Structure 1
Amino acid sequence: MVEEGSIDISPKYQRRERWPTQAQSALIESFLLNIPVPPVYLSEDDYGTYSIIDGKQRLTAIHAFMSGQLTLRSLERFVELEGMSFADLPAPLSNALRVRPYVRAVTLLRQTKPHLKYEVFLRLNTAGTPLSPQEIRNVAFRGRLNDAIYESAEHHFLRQQLKIKGPKSPNYRKMMDAEFVLRFIMLSFHWKNFSGDFRRSLDGFMSSHYDDSQSQVDDIRNRFTTAINRAQKLWGNYAFKRPEGLGWRDQALAGAFDAEMVAAYQLSDSEFKTLADASDKVVDLTRQLYKDDEFETAVRQGTNTPSRVRLRIARLTKALKKMASDLA
């Protein structure tokens, strides 16, 4: 069904591959030993076509092995199969893999509500490799907004600052880039009345907006594009980082990301242009802000505290607007 296109094992919203070759090989060995494997959960996209809610790692491993893309490594029982692909297997074993019905499938029909899919995913997320909150959102709230978040997460500057160099980067596999996009979008609307619970706030935003019109989604996407492009212009390689000694700590901080992205977005076009022409002064201003213990603490510690979210965003926004006025 995968080869025929009936099952999409890599929908945009699904988790990114995280199983190493050894884990994939162990699954294939389980099949050869006739050990039962948990069912996969599918979501019906259209009549006769499905995408994966849970079980992507298993189906990906099966498909990779059966199609010749996976060679077996670090087996415990079938050590004689080390380094073999499906085509290399002895005939009795390859025939057994072709005919035995190993994997059961449970399907959620098209009319299943998103909140129910979310609940299913939460309940499934109790064994194996735990899913990150963003991985769960990307399954439960699929749609135009989710696609826009996923596409926005490909922005080269965001990935550069998060040190995402390719599919094997830990932050990529956990979808941290997508979560940062959603984090900014939610705060750009609600930073003044943020509840103090990022997970609940991000879930709530997706639940409220997953079925927004294309026009509404485009407006939301433009918020992020505007903010990330401005952050790149204003802070360059120092964006989302904090000072350390005479230099800058080479690690992006969520608190710094919040402050800089929302502050940059709130600038008028004329304010931004003025500051972009003096980006070195913006960097110096930011360094000076970190000398304020209250601001530094709001960026680095207890970053979910509502008062600290408001402080770091408001303090940086005010400083940038004042600088723009002074330079105008």
Structure 2
Amino acid sequence: MTPIDLSASTASNETNATEVDDADETDSVAPHVDPITYFGTEFDVHGLVRRFNQRAIVVPSFDPNSELPDERAQGFQRGVVWRPAQKQKFIESLLLGFPVPGIFLVEQPGKKYLVLDGQQRLTTLAAFYGDKFRLDSVDDKFVDKTYSTLADDVQRMLDDTFIQAIIIRTPTSVDEYESVYQIFERLNSGGTQLQPHEIRVALYGGKTVEAIRELNNDDNWRKLFGNRDPRLKDQELILRAIALNAESEQYSAPLKVFLNTFLGDHRNGEGLDLEGLSRQFTEAARILASSLGERPFRLGTRVNAAILESVFVAVMDFVASGAHVDLPDEWWKATYDTLLTNQAYLESVSKATANEDTVARRLALTRDAFRR
């Protein structure tokens, strides 16, 4: 088999990604988390690759350019973020007998495991064992080697190398899933750190996450937001619009916990008119793209998440009421422009934007503006 390089870089995507001005939720924590059950174990490398190839270990991805088959995707876009040099160094470290970081798994029904940390290591191992790339920028004795061309004793040594794993027992409630989310945030400290929504869609995958993924492909939404975000900020903003439209009265900070709870409660659309919300979002995107043109929701060069979220919530309300029919583009544009001259509104989209009072004030002002 001819070795090929599957280590496409996301550098160009990240360079062209739309920048978003939003509250920093990095340090916010849940007000309450439940204890969970976990244990530590070790897997030999050969066993890890075998389990991966047999799909007993699932490395989920929404990335259409991923080397993973689509049917293995379970709701977690990470993209290929390791550069070729990182893959080379990881394999070299194992061949040299150096310690490497462990992996983090969540037990799933059927004795399968969902990977929440370690997907780059596992996909790199699977690609190397499949002779998908050749070593080059490594110790001289490994240069130009694929797995199949390693000496027999080196193959055996690699096969028998152990990698540590932390395994979380299958969560059984929304609160336990929130605990897993919080634990993973604390473990997610190396390499390219995952963003809140990247963790969220892995833990809360289901019909609601799939509906958001489909909405992210909407042409009008793409005109409004801009380029796809490799770190899923565009999908997170769709979730925010839907969640706040449906349950704004239940909002409490921190924002990321509110969004986690919403997905946990409505993983497969339970208690929601998911199709109706999707239609409202799509129609709101059509109206706003037609009336505001491309790249609105910006006070400067970045998308302002608070403006986008609040305007979508209000226009989705308007769509649901049916009162939007036959309103000209000029009305929508004038209403939007007037809103951006409201000092109270501008403060609500620029200061403490995830605070409960600020969110309530922002949504009230926007709903009032877009009401006839």
Which position in structure 1 is the counterpart of 2:78? 16
2:267 matches 1:210:
yes
Greater RCO (Cα-Cα under 8 Å, separation 6 or more): 2
2:358 matches 1:308:
yes
* Cα pair 1:8 1:52 within 8 Å, conserved: yes
* Cα pair 1:162 1:252 within 8 Å, conserved: yes
Q: Which runs of 5+ in 1 are unaligned?
A: 166-170, 243-248, 323-328
SS for the counterpart of 1:272 is coil
> For the structure 1 residues 154 and 264, does the alpha-carbon distance in structure 2 shift closer, same or farther, using more than 3 Å as the test?
same
SS for the counterpart of 2:179 is helix
* Cα pair 2:226 2:295 within 8 Å, conserved: no
The correspondence for 2:120, drawn from 51, 54, 57, is: 57
> For the structure 1 residues 195 and 117, does the alpha-carbon distance in structure 2 shift closer, same or farther, using more than 3 Å as the test?
closer
Q: What's the CA shift for 1:265?
A: 0.5
Q: Report the Cα distance in structure 2 between the residues aligned to 1:291 and 1:46, rounded to whole angstroms.
A: 53
The correspondence for 1:298, drawn from 345, 348, 355, is: 348
Q: What's the CA shift for 1:185?
A: 1.5
* Cα pair 1:186 1:202 within 8 Å, conserved: yes
Q: Report the Cα distance in structure 2 between the residues aligned to 1:5 and 1:157, rounded to whole angstroms.
A: 37
2:310 matches 1:253:
no
Q: What's the CA shift for 1:182?
A: 1.5
Q: What letter corresponds to residue 344 of structure 2 in structure 1?
A: E
* Cα pair 1:72 1:85 within 8 Å, conserved: yes
2:175 matches 1:120:
no
Which position in structure 2 is the counterpart of 1:289? 339
Number of corresponding residues? 305
The correspondence for 2:325, drawn from 256, 269, 273, is: 273
Which position in structure 1 is the counterpart of 2:221? 158
Which position in structure 1 is the counterpart of 2:96? 33
2:162 matches 1:102:
yes
The correspondence for 1:4, drawn from 51, 54, 57, is: 54
2:232 matches 1:180:
no
Q: What's the CA shift for 1:223?
A: 4.3
* Cα pair 2:284 2:312 within 8 Å, conserved: yes
Identity %: 21
SS for the counterpart of 1:51 is strand
Q: Report the Cα distance in structure 2 between the residues aligned to 1:47 and 1:193, rounded to whole angstroms.
A: 35
Q: Which runs of 5+ in 2 are unaligned?
A: 1-50, 61-72
More helix by share: 1
Q: Report the Cα distance in structure 2 between the residues aligned to 1:309 and 1:226, rounded to whole angstroms.
A: 23
* Cα pair 1:239 1:260 within 8 Å, conserved: no
Structure 1, 301-310 or 216-225: larger mean CA deviation: 216-225
* Cα pair 2:94 2:158 within 8 Å, conserved: no
SS for the counterpart of 1:273 is coil
Q: Report the Cα distance in structure 1 between the residues aligned to 2:155 and 2:103, rounded to whole angstroms.
A: 23
Which position in structure 2 is the counterpart of 1:142? 205
Q: What's the CA shift for 1:253?
A: 1.0
Q: Report the Cα distance in structure 1 between the residues aligned to 2:285 and 2:160, rounded to whole angstroms.
A: 51
Q: Report the Cα distance in structure 2 between the residues aligned to 1:106 and 1:192, rounded to whole angstroms.
A: 38
> For the structure 1 residues 38 and 280, does the alpha-carbon distance in structure 2 shift closer, same or farther, using more than 3 Å as the test?
same
> For the structure 1 residues 285 and 110, does the alpha-carbon distance in structure 2 shift closer, same or farther, using more than 3 Å as the test?
closer
* Cα pair 2:147 2:155 within 8 Å, conserved: no
> For the structure 1 residues 189 and 48, does the alpha-carbon distance in structure 2 shift closer, same or farther, using more than 3 Å as the test?
closer
* Cα pair 2:103 2:117 within 8 Å, conserved: yes
TM-score, length basis structure 2? 0.69
Which position in structure 2 is the counterpart of 1:246? none
Q: Report the Cα distance in structure 1 between the residues aligned to 2:225 and 2:324, rounded to whole angstroms.
A: 24
